[in-house]
Amino acid sequence: MQKVALKTVVFMGSARNVVPPWGGEARLGDRVLKHVLSVLKARDEAYGQDQVSHEVSVFDPVEVFGPGGACEGDGHLTTPHFFLKAGTNPKMDEMRDTIKAADGYVVVTAEYNHSLPPALTSLMGHFGGSNYKCKPSCIVTYSPGPWAGMRAAMAARPFLSELGCIPVSKLAAFPAPNELFDEEGAPKDPEARMLKQLPAMVGELEWMALAMKKMRDSAGLPK
């Protein structure tokens, strides 16, 4: 067996930091993000002669747009990275390099106004599509209600496709994450049926990422 550590970038979609009027948590997605990261960390799957695990990087808009972040203060996407001269912003260069080196992407997002949070589209849109091309992505949504952010997933599909990181067919969606996960992202009921979506979707991501990585390594990127 050949061990392959896929370079996987996780994008967090929500930058919310205030408790909603109806109560609850400032950012319900923290539980979901922690669960996703724990699942990725535990993966060790065989595909033919390859044993696949994940080398994970996380980009959170709270940090990326916050003090000292790579895109500090530019959540409105006033200055995309590809508008800058080389070396102008080393932190953005480093973030771009991580995105470009990735084998696949996981998007964890809430649903805002039946669509994607602006923090997510700005976070990913700061970097040109050439950094994402010919790699797969997958979508994890959540919401406090029963539909689990599904409309955001539908909005994410064309967005990711146009960036060049084609989303896999399967989706993972978590309604009422505060009922599914504790504050550390551990399932309150390990047998809950909604939990099965994520490993199945990650399996598709791994299969696609491995196949596309082999093509990039052997044939390079298409012109």
Please give the mean pLDDT across all residues of the chain.
96
pLDDT at residue 94, rounded to an integer = 98
CB 70 within 8 A of CB 11: no
Predicted pLDDT of residue 171:
97
User: What predicted TM-score, i.e. pTM, was given to this entire model?
Assistant: 0.96
Helix (H), strand (E) counts: the chain: 7, 7
Rounded to whole angstroms, how far apart are CA atoms 95 and 64?
Answer: 9
CATH among 3.40.50.360, 3.30.420.40, 3.10.510.20, 3.40.50.11890 for 2-219: 3.40.50.360
Please state the domain extents for the chain. Answer: 2-219
Beta strands in the chain (DSSP E): 2-12, 45-47, 50-59, 104-109, 135-143, 165-167, 172-175
pLDDT(182) > 80: yes
Give the whole-angstrom CA distance, residue 14 versus residue 180. Answer: 19
Q: Taking residues 133-145, what's their average pLDDT?
A: 96
Q: Report the candidate in 210, 200, 52, 196 with the shortest Cα–Cα distance to residue 136.
A: 210
* Cα four-point dihedral sign 196, 185, 69, 97: negative
